[in-house]
Structures are given as C-alpha cells and as structure tokens.
Amino acid sequence: MCGRFTITVDLEDLREYLVEHFDISEMKSEFQLPRYNVAPSQDVITIINDGNKNRVGLLKWGFVPYFAKDEKIGNSMINAKSETLIDKPSFKSSFQLKRCVILADSFYEWKREENSKTPMRIGLSDEKLFPMAGLWSTFVKPDGTKLHTTTIITTKANELMSEIHDRMPVILDDVAVKEWLNPRNQDLLNLSNLLQPFPSEKMYAYPVNSVVNNAKNDSKECILKV
C-alpha cells in the first residue's frame, strides 16, 4: 500500500516541474511546501486534465465514491489495487472518466523485521518529483457542498520493494502519464497496462527515523537516513 509520502520541493521547483512536464503555468491553489510526512485525510497536490488542458489543485486523500452514503468511507479508501479497478463499483466510473496523478518525491513503507517495523523512504534515483497514478471523485454532502477526493493506485512490488512490502504505488513515466491523464482514452485494458511496477534500478530505499511514524511530525527529521 501507500500510506505516507513526501513532496520536499519548494514552490519555485514545483512551478518549473509543472511547466516542463505538464505544460501548467498557473497555480490557483495555495500549496504548503515542503512536506515531509503527507498522510491520509490531508489535501494532496493533484493534476487532472479537463479535456482541454492539465490543471493542478488540491484534493483530499481518501476516496469517497459519488454514491457513498457516508464520507467517512474515505478513511479506508486511500489506495486502490490496479488489478481490480475494472471490477470494483467504487472505482470503475472514475477509472474510465476521472483519472489523476498525485505528485511526490518519495514515499514511506514499513519493513517488517522480527519484532518491529522499520520505516523506509523510497524514491527515484534522480531524487526528482514523480507522478503517482490516482483516481478522483466528487461527493455531494447532505448540505449540498462538494467534497473532491482522491486515491493512490498500487501495484505489485518490484524487486527493490519486495524486500520491504508486497505493494507499491504506481509511478508513471512521461509517456504513460500523458495516456493516463487523457480523458478521451477510455480503453480500460490499455489503461490497465500502464499500471506496472516502476523499474527497481531507477529507485532507492533507505531506513529513516521512527519520528515519521506519527503523522503529526512533518519536519526534515522524517527523511534523515539512520
């Protein structure tokens, strides 16, 4: 699964990345950066395509289907398995029509040892930002206000991750991300084929301080190697 991640760049770095990779030159939302311990139920920096252009904004992490009876269901829907998107009623509609990416520059996973769990930080070898495949949804609350939420898609672990956990977030390369965000692409089989483990040789992993275990801690100490 993917239950925590980081986006440790500053606003200027984010602007440059958005222009270079997504042709986005305007940011309307207020982004709090850097973030060293992003957790479920928080707002995350997300990119969608509105049919004409890519747009960046904030969505709440924790997917609430449009037909849900209670928005609290989002607490248990922070991830969606790539292998079952077509079969799950909660995700199928968004898989076809409401795809997005969530930006990060690393994620955390806890490696099981004999009597403990060691927090690990995992990212790309070039230490740059990357897009994680996601889905989004709009839920209308009883009072009529709209709640926009997202989930991170996971896939089977690559060789590096398999030593830590059996799942990992889907990280899209520059070619795949264009197909993923294209709302005119509704070929679910083709889209499913994009959701593959990222190559191990292009990634790193190292243990970090247990301070990251508490989601209230959001400081540079979270990413320090131990």
Domains identified in the chain and CATH numbers: 4-213 (3.90.1680.10)
**29 has pLDDT over 80:** no
* Helices of type H across 26-168: 89-97, 159-162
Closest by CA to 105, choosing from 203, 19, 224, 210, is: 203
DSSP state of 71: G
User: Quick one: pLDDT at residue 76?
Assistant: 94
CB neighbour list of residue 74: distance below 8 Å, 6 or more residues apart = 41, 60, 62, 63, 64, 68, 149
Task: Look over the chain and give the mean of its residue pLDDT values, rounded to a whole number.
Answer: 96
pLDDT at residue 41 is higher than 80: yes
Output the pTM of the full model. 0.97
What pLDDT score was predicted for residue 126?
96
Does the structure show a pLDDT above 90 at 1?
A: no
Q: Can you read off the two tokens belonging to residue 81?
A: 């398995």
Q: Does 28 have pLDDT greater than 90? A: no
Question: In the numeric block, which tokens belong to residue 169?
Answer: 């977030």
pLDDT per residue as tens digits for the range 190-213: 999 999 999 999 999 999 999 999
Express each pLDDT in 150-190 by its tens digit. Answer: 999 999 999 999 999 999 999 999 999 999 999 999 999 99
Percent of the chain at pLDDT exceeding 70: 100
Catalytic site positions: 2, 109
* 10 has a pLDDT exceeding 90: yes
**Distance from C-alpha of 150 to C-alpha of 159, rounded to nearest angstrom:** 27
Which residue stretches of 98-225 are H helix? 159-162, 174-181, 188-193
Asked if residues 31 and 8 have their Cβ atoms less than 8 Å apart, the reply is: no
Q: CA-to-CA distance for 154 and 167, rounded, in angstroms?
A: 6
Secondary structure of residue 199 in the 3-state scheme: coil
Looking at residue 115, its pLDDT comes to 85
Per-residue pLDDT at 27 exceeds 90 = no
